[in-house]
A and B are shown apart, each in its own frame.
Chain A
Amino acid sequence: MTETSASPRPTTLAQKIIARASARDHVTPGEIVTARVDLAMIHDSGGPRRVEPILQDLGVGLFDASKVVLISDHFVPGDTDEGARILELTRQWAKERKVAFHDGEGICHVVLPERGHLLPGMLVVGGDSHSPTGGAFGAYMFGVGATEMAGVLATGEIWLKVPETILLEWRGQLSAGVTAKDMMLALCGRLGMDGGKYQAVEYAGEAITALSMQERMTLSNMAAELGGQAGLIAPDATTAAFLEKAGANMGARASWSGLATDAGAPVQEHHVFDASALAPQVAAPHSPANSAPVTEAPETPVDVAYIGACTGAKYEDLRNAADILRGRRLGKGVELLVAPASKRDQDRAAADGIMAVFEAAGARILPNACGICAGYGADRLGEDVTCISSTARNFKGRMGAASSKVWLGSPLTVAASAIAGKIADPRDFLPDEGERS
């Protein structure tokens, strides 16, 4: 009997990355493997202050300091005693442990790729639940808690159950005023917050190929809200162009070829959606799965409009919101808070006149940090406040008082609602072609 070794069996993107990281020719969904970690990302909240005591307890150092990136974002700007103390500890640790450190430069999930740390095909572990964001770059990136992160930092290894792939295919093209955030809210509503079953969610189809990197990051980011372990998108020319600009090591480019799910690979579920038919979505309190087209939302006055977070305040999010706000004023009694996701994105937005649009409209600009998305800072939502937010999750009490109510929408929907003083459809405020930034 001869085995014909003509073509290798078709595999998913997730299988390819995990097989390489675990030094195997092939891995099968469901089996448990131990993988080598290419990169570990930690932040000020779950990072040094939590992992260092465990490393001390274990009596070991870092497996490889050059594969660890530390980013401060949760406690920035350190305006409380506790926050300042945690930031100090974080800075000290970065120096002692000699790891790459981005301090006050923005939110971890945005800074990591922006500074060229991520590459397609990597296996990356992040100390934060929105770590699937890295999947937008074709890296298998997932979140873990502090104890598991300490284990990774000590050994450079992590166990994985090889995931099934849940393929979410988007055909057609998004219409004006509809974004990746709307796709995700619609998916949370359709599939539920456990629809990802802690497997590998993969986004594909012509509507995905047409998206910019920052929009793809929004999709992968909210794979967390779908309950997926990772949120993958196969790397392409758009990925390469972004990474090149970010100064990533493009020498590895050759190894990206074939980094995609093969035709005929075993996918557990395959859902097809029509991007052209999608309307802007909002999610009612207190779950991202409570989503519906904005046209069906009940008349809801808002007190606070928040454009912030890794999910909804990147350069393109800011640009899209500014297109709605340009030349307009905030609705009566509405407060608009804008916390650009990274310093670099804010600088770019300033250079393009986008920050000036927010200021002219009467917005208050907050630090490049997690801020009230993490429930931190003086701007936490007060009792009974209703907020429309560009963030990823609206669990009860997350952004402030338990009585506060958070609606989720795209940055455009947040901007439109800030003008209208109530939840509004951004398509009623879209600028003419020539007026866009």
Chain B
Amino acid sequence: MSGRIILVGDDIDTDQLAPGAYMKGGIEALAAHCLEGVRPGFAQEVTPGDVLVAGRNFGVGSSREQAAEALKHLGLAGVVALSFAGIFYRNAINLGLPVLTAPDLSAVTDGAAARLDVAAARLELASDGAAIALDPLPDNLQVLLADGGLVPHLKKRFAKERNKEQGQCAEHRP
């Protein structure tokens, strides 16, 4: 197991994830205060590979993507929730933070050893092989995540397009 479960409740909003008062300080400062309103000491507690598990409507609120950026910055392997607010969900994928839903997360306990397997859409809970099946991501989102988010994905695409153009020019050269 490479990480632990950190369990939070329903309706965690973007003002909790990226508190407005620290928005000016850059991602480092912002991440240090991530979720402190609902779980004091959260930022200090996270170690890379941990999995945040939440209830319904995670990330409700504004379109500020620092909400997802802060979680990624802290090194979380991803967020698993019963449901996500739409804009947060898109932002997380675009920044390369895995976000997955599951119909039932009642077997998850705070502090338990866990590993998130994004490609297999599984949350492994113990070394004896117990796992929770997550809803698989659509293909286009898997591609985005595998590329590391939208910006690296577009870079790849533009590079391909440029290569193609150059290739064509070469072919048409007299």
Contact = CB atoms under 8 A, between A and B. Distances in A.
B13 to A, nearest CB: 5
A147 B64 contact: no
Contacts, number: 95
Contacts of B20: 375, 397-398
Nearest to B21: A397
A141 B154 CA distance: 23
29 contacts: A32-B140, A57-B151, A57-B155, A58-B155, A58-B158, A60-B158, A82-B24, A128-B63, A129-B61, A143-B87, A144-B63, A144-B90, A145-B64, A147-B65, A147-B91, A147-B94, A147-B149, A147-B150, A148-B94, A151-B94, A151-B150, A192-B57, A194-B11, A194-B83, A194-B85, A375-B20, A396-B16, A397-B19, A397-B37
A129 B91 contact: no
A120 B19 CA distance: 36
Nearest to B61: A395
Nearest to B89: A198
Contact residues on A (Cβ < 8 Å of other chain), bracket: 35 or more
A161 B101 CA distance: 16
Nearest to B93: A148
A146 B65 contact: yes
Interface in A322-381: 375
A48 interface: no
Interface in A32-59: 32, 46, 54, 57-59
User: For A32, A59, A60, A145, which residue has the most chain B Cβ atoms within 10 angstroms?
Assistant: A145
A154 B61 CA distance: 26
Interface residues of B, number: 37
Contacts of B65: 145-147
B146 to A, nearest CB: 15
A283 B71 CA distance: 30
A393 B57 contact: no
B122 interface: no
B44 interface: no
User: For A192, A227, A287, which residue has the most chain B Cβ atoms within 10 angstroms?
Assistant: A227
B95 A147 contact: yes
Interface string B61-98: 11111001000000000000001111101110011000
B63 A46 contact: yes
Contacts of A198: 84-86, 89
A60 B86 CA distance: 27
Which 5 residue pairs across A and B have the least CB separation, nearest first? A198-B86, A145-B65, A145-B91, A194-B57, A129-B63
A411 B64 CA distance: 27
A396 B20 CA distance: 10
A235 interface: no
A194 B87 CA distance: 12
Contact of A227 (B21, B63, B86, B94): B86
Given A146-B65, A150-B151, A402-B37, 11 more contacts: A54-B151, A58-B158, A59-B158, A129-B61, A129-B87, A154-B154, A198-B89, A227-B60, A393-B61, A397-B21, A398-B20
Nearest to A59: B158
A155 B154 contact: yes
Contact of B150 (A82, A148, A397): A148
Interface in A130-162: 142-148, 150-151, 154-155, 159, 161
A54 B150 CA distance: 10
Contacts of A82: 24
A259 interface: no
